Amino acid sequence: MKPAPFDYVAPRTVAEACAVLSEAGGGATVIAGGQTLMPLLNLRMSQPFILVDVNHIEGFSGVTRVPGGTRIAPATRQAAALKDGTLAAHVPALVSALGHVGHHQTRNRGTIGGSVALGEPAAEMPATAVALGAAIDVASVRGTRTVPAREFYLGPYMTVLEPDELVTGITYPDWGEGHVVLFNELAQRPGDFALTGFVGTLALDGGKITRAGLAWMAMGPTPVAMTEAEAVLAGQTLDGIDIAALSDLALRPTAPFDDQHASAEYRRTVGKRLFEKTLRAALQVKEVA
């Protein structure tokens, strides 16, 4: 099939893009990498009147250090982020997760902001934003606002974004030197969405965990923060963690679903094992180091 007819605009500034979105009254759709949108257009599952291409907006691509964190411009290609030295040094959990996003070909077009804004509950980038406590900058003709990632997602492909709003950047806070990176997922094939998985970071000070950020993917209608497990981890030493008990806490906020790929019970069982295995291995390596 071919897409339904639409107008195409390529604004050069955020203000121009926001003006088009506002005037469209909900009839416009933003395109950056197009890895999800283009198939939807071809199947006519999405039929916008206007396609707003944000790739030509100045400053909409790249990684910069900001006070207390690292900011990724929304149209930054996933492949570029995967090789970025600043992200490798300051946001290694994101780099670990990025290696499992799609395939080499799709990462050359897919963008960080597009994945975060889409809100696929089984995708790596939304879960990473939630786990690390990222802040999502949003703009419209009415002004700007910053939304914590943990407040951004409402349901599958549903976010707090209004039809006239545009994501302008994602900032990932610093977690300190020597923090522990946690990532694991199970997918049917490399590059597929996860059947279950999680991403997280543990901040350390003198062998004690000062802060934890953990989130599930494919374990509910949105990325699921492991808030109870995070609270229990804070203040503990690496050798004092009851991993089995912690995994039970980590599963409490989940609401996995049955589909053609896996049952909810499968997701819970395998997710628990992945969590325990990954945490145990990461803590052992850290203790040795």
> What percent helix, strand, coil does the chain show, rounded to 5?
35, 25, 35
- Taking residue 102's Cβ as centre, other Cβ atoms within 10 Å add up to 22
In the predicted structure, residue 40 carries a pLDDT above the cut 60: yes
CATH class for the domain made up of 7-56? alpha beta
Tokens of 16: 């121009």
The model's pLDDT over 191-235, given as tens digits with 9 standing for 90+, comes to 899 999 999 999 999 889 999 999 999 999 999 999 999 999 999
Tell me whether the CATH fold assigned to 63-173 matches the one assigned to 180-288. no
Helix (H, G, I), strand (E, B) or coil at 11: coil
- For 252-283, write each residue's pLDDT tens digit: 999 999 999 999 999 999 999 999 999 999 88
**In the block, which residue shows the tokens 């995967």?**
82
What does pTM read for this prediction? Answer: 0.95
Task: Map out the domains of the chain as residue ranges.
Answer: 7-56, 63-173, 180-288
pLDDT digits (tens, 9 = 90+) for 102-129: 988 999 999 999 999 999 999 999 999 9
Residue 17 CA to residue 206 CA, distance in Å, equals: 48
Check whether 285 has a pLDDT greater than 70. Answer: no
Euclidean distance between CA atoms 218 and 203, whole angstroms: 25
pLDDT digits (tens, 9 = 90+) for 137-180: 999 999 999 999 999 999 999 999 999 999 999 999 999 998 99
Q: SS3 letters for 130-194?
A: HHHCCEEEEEECCEEEEEEHHHCEEECCEECCCCCCEEEEEEEECCCCCCEEEEEEECCCCCCCC
The CATH number that domain 63-173 falls under is 3.30.465.10
Q: 180-288: what CATH class? A: alpha beta
Residues 72/170, Cβ–Cβ less than 8 Å: yes
- For the chain, the average pLDDT equals 94
Residue type, 40: L
Predicted confidence at residue 252, as pLDDT, reads 97
- Higher pLDDT: 281 or 289? It is 281
Q: How far is CA 167 from the centre of its chain?
A: 13
Q: Which two tokens stand for residue 148?
A: 């914590």
Residue 1 has pLDDT above 70, yes or no: no
Residues in contact with 10: Cβ distance below 8 Å, sequence separation at least 6, in sequence order: 53, 55, 56
pLDDT value at position 3?
82
pLDDT for 21 beyond 90: yes
Whether residue 200 contacts residue 54, with contact meaning beta carbons closer than 8 Å, is answered with no
Question: What is the per-residue pLDDT across 231-251, written as a single tens digit (0 to 9) for each?
Answer: 999 999 988 899 999 999 999
Q: How many CA atoms lie within 13 A of 115 on its CB side?
A: 30
Give 254's contacts (C-beta < 8 A, 6+ positions apart).
216, 219, 220, 224, 267, 268, 271
Name the phi and psi angles at 16, rounded to 5. Answer: -65, -45
Report whether 123 contacts 157 (CB < 8 A).
Answer: no
